Structure 1
Amino acid sequence: MADFVLVAGAWLGSWAWDEVVAPLRAAGHGAHALTLSGLAEKRGLPAGQQTHVQDIVGEVERRDLHDVVLVGHSYSGIPVGQAAERIGDRLTRVVFVDSEVPVDGESFVSTWWQGPAALASQLADNDGYWPPLGAADFDGQGLTDTQIARLVEGSTPHPGATLAEPAELTRPLSELPATYVKCLLDGPEPNATVTELVAGGHWRLVTMDTGHWPMFSQPAELARLLLEQTS
């Protein structure tokens, strides 16, 4: 059976996966939701991007996990993609859930869709942290008012150093066994980098008819999709 290691995106902790972990475990798999340094119950811990990479590698090694399916959502696709190549033959597959992916030498800030200056300005104005989203920012993402309230209440400021440090890859990302999950309410197509990786032949592309936070809007469907990646 597989061991899933689930890492949520910016502002979120392990709690974001509560409704996904249960069906994975019910199917007989291990499911380990991870909070990255500086977030949620680990708020206040110093963190750069390589700290987050080591958080993930350390979780796999500490638990002595094998047949690992690494799952990265949104921002966390960047450290998850780097961690995937560092855990060697423990890895079965990487699943990127509507996420960014690491580009060697580039950071989350440098590839930000609104331009690096816009995100850098937000970090500078908030003591080096990326402030969480407000309720209105979740409009159009397939979420109920209750789900939005849970997201807003549970989010914590995201440490900016993790966004500004460049990724470090030792081999082409295209060589990883990977699945990319595109959430269609957040845009019909993945970005150009992901499109190129899918075209390379090692990556699968699947879609979900929901928004950017499927662990809240469609947790059962997301769990089923993740289980399909083990076959």
Structure 2
Amino acid sequence: MDIILVPGLWLDASSWDPVLGPLRAAGHAPHPLTMPGVGEPAASSADVGIADWVDAVVTAIDETAGDVVLVGHSGGGNVVWGAVDARPDRVARAVFVDTVPPPDGSGISEFEVVDGVIPFPGWDFFPDEDVRDLDAQTRARTAPEALSVPARVPTDPIALGDERRYDVPATLLMGALTQEELEGYLAQWGAYGDEYRRIRDAEVVRIGSGHWPQYSVPDRLAELLVAAIR
């Protein structure tokens, strides 16, 4: 199976390196992506928005011969769901890594813009539950690898319009939350809960990690990805 791997904000294709070997060993063909404008100055990335990221994934889908699995980490989940909406007949499964499918018109989040781009804010920016399992060595190694993001991408609204997206099976690999806990939160999240409940085949699996399992528990993440891709 062709597997298109979409990183979250500030990450590039190399962030998926820890899971590529196990995916290949399981007989899959992983395709990790670096999204448009990542690491580029405002002069060349100011016009890049979330639609361009979705288009990059759609292009990757169109370059394959058969059905694909899409995997999105964090903000990459918005991108994946946009690509599912664009190519619902080509996606065998969507996998969300510590994130949920967004409703139409929603953005990822807001971050400070510096010199026309959004730089990585540093590991101390994030709440403890997100980074508690990243030790000092991992933080020191990965922070220099984090790249700036085009300013528009996190706040651009995702455009969704094809209800066939709800027919695509979805696996939500959540860092700390069980299915019961996640669905309890989603019941309070308005349109996000509505979007999730409309997916006809959705499963939630707890990773047992913070927000960056590819760094903290890569073997566990790889195992769960292989199990989800069926």
- Give TM-score scaled by structure 2 length: 0.83
SS at match of 1:5: strand
CA distance in 2, matches of 1:141, 1:89: 39
Distance in 2 (CA, whole Å) between partners of 1:33 and 1:42 is 22
Distance 1:154 1:226 in 2: 24
1:45-194 aligned at under 5 Å gives the runs 45=45, 46-62=47-63, 64-109=64-109, 119=110, 122-123=112-113, 126-137=114-125, 140-172=131-163, 173-184=165-176, 189=182, 191-192=185-186, 193=189
Deviation at 1:152, TM superposition (A): 0.5
1:135–1:229: structure 2 CA closer, same or farther, 3 Å change rule?
closer
For structure 1, the residue ranges without an aligned partner over 5 or more in a row are 110-118
Within 1, Cα distance between the matches of 2:22 and 2:209? 19
Query: What letter corresponds to residue 49 of structure 1 in structure 2?
Result: I
Q: How many residues align?
A: 215
One-letter identity of the residue aligned with 1:183: G
Query: Are the aligned partners of 1:79 and 1:102 in contact in 2 as well (CA < 8 Å)?
Result: no
RMSD (Å), alpha carbons: 2.4
Moved more, 209-218 or 99-108: 99-108
Q: Which moved more, 1:73-82 or 1:132-141?
A: 132-141
CA distance in structure 1 between the partners assigned to 2:10 and 2:146 by the alignment: 5
CA contact (8 A) 1:128 1:161 kept: no
CA distance in 1, matches of 2:41, 2:61: 18
Whether contact under 8 Å (2:36, 2:52) holds in the other structure is yes
Give the percent of matched residue pairs that are identical in Structure 1 and Structure 2.
33
Match of 1:113 in 2: none
What is the CA distance between 1:40 and its match in structure 2?
4.2
What one-letter code is carried by the residue in structure 2 that aligns with 1:97? V
For residues 31 and 40 of structure 2, what CA distance do their matches in structure 1 show?
A: 16
Q: CA deviation at 1:32?
A: 0.6
Measure the CA separation in 1 of the matches of 2:194 and 2:205: 15
Amino acid at match of 2:211: H
**CA apart distance, 1:26:** 1.5
Deviation for aligned residue 1:95: 0.3
Under a length normalisation based on structure 1, what TM-score does the superposition of the two structures give?
A: 0.83
- For residues 99 and 128 of structure 1, do their structure 2 counterparts lie closer, same or farther at Cα, with a shift above 3 Å needed? farther
**Once structures 1 and 2 are overlaid, which stretch shifts more, 167-176 or 28-37?**
167-176
Unaligned runs of 5+ in 2: none
